[in-house]
Chain A
Amino acid sequence: EVQLVESGGGLVQPGGSLRLSCAASGFTFRTYEMNWVRQTPGKGLEWLSYISTSGSNTRYADSVKGRFTISRDNAKNSLYLQMNSLRAEDTAVYYCARQLGSGVLDYWGQGALVTVSS
């Protein structure tokens, strides 16, 4: 059974940093591209970042470019999102999602809540 489990969410002050992790199991992680997507009541679902199978190719939404960094450790079956210079508008539920092919997100984690507030 495919499982994606996010961790690392929580409360952080504006300007602070947080690192999300996504532990993958039930499939050959190193052969799948991965993404991060977030959801807020106001803006709905927002794609944030993509990483290729090897980690050599990454893409970011303009809203997080330069502040967030996606990475992966295929030996540990894990995906990461390093979030720096956090703002109130980054408050959201963050999901990791497996890519089936060409931007199709076939499995999602349960989500990790990130709250940016003083």
Chain B
Amino acid sequence: DIQMTQSPSSLSASVGDRVTITCRASQNISRYLNWYRQKSGTAPNLLVYAASHLQSGVPSRFSGSGSGTNFTLTISSLQPEDFATFYCQQSYTSPLTFGQGTKVDVK
């Protein structure tokens, strides 16, 4: 199975901050990388698919980049609703696998 490793596991930030989360795959997954945000007590919500494509309705403060094994999710200006946990997920091959999550909390 492909292992997905996110860093950091947690970070503290303030509203308006620029935040960057990284995700590394254990093998080349081309651009088959997706990002989700999960607010407390709710289901994950798709933000970015295919490494850099913003899902419909997702604010433009989110952006994704990368290919191969290294990927990045950037939030250009953190908003109150972004205090949540973010997950990467590879869709290159079955089984689909997720990173362990990055929790963003209030500094």
Bound-state CA distance A59–B34 (Å) is: 20
Bound-state CA distance A59–B99 (Å) is: 20
Which of A12-20, A23-31, A67-75, A107-115 lies at the interface?
A: A107-115
Contact A103:B91 (CB < 8 A) given known A46-B98, A47-B98 = yes
Instruction: Decide: B98 and A100 in contact? CB cutoff 8 A.
Output: no
Instruction: Decide: B55 and A61 in contact? CB cutoff 8 A.
Output: no
Query: Is B46 among interface residues, defined by CB-CB distance under 8 A?
Result: yes
Bound-state CA distance A108–B45 (Å) is: 7
User: Which residues of A approach B to under 8 Å, CB–CB?
Assistant: 35, 37, 44-47, 50, 59, 61-62, 95, 100, 102-111
In addition to A104-B91, A105-B96, 17 A-B residue pairs with Cβ atoms within 8 Å of each other are A37-B96, A44-B87, A44-B100, A44-B101, A45-B87, A45-B89, A45-B98, A47-B97, A47-B98, A59-B95, A62-B95, A103-B89, A104-B34, A105-B36, A108-B43, A108-B44, A110-B42
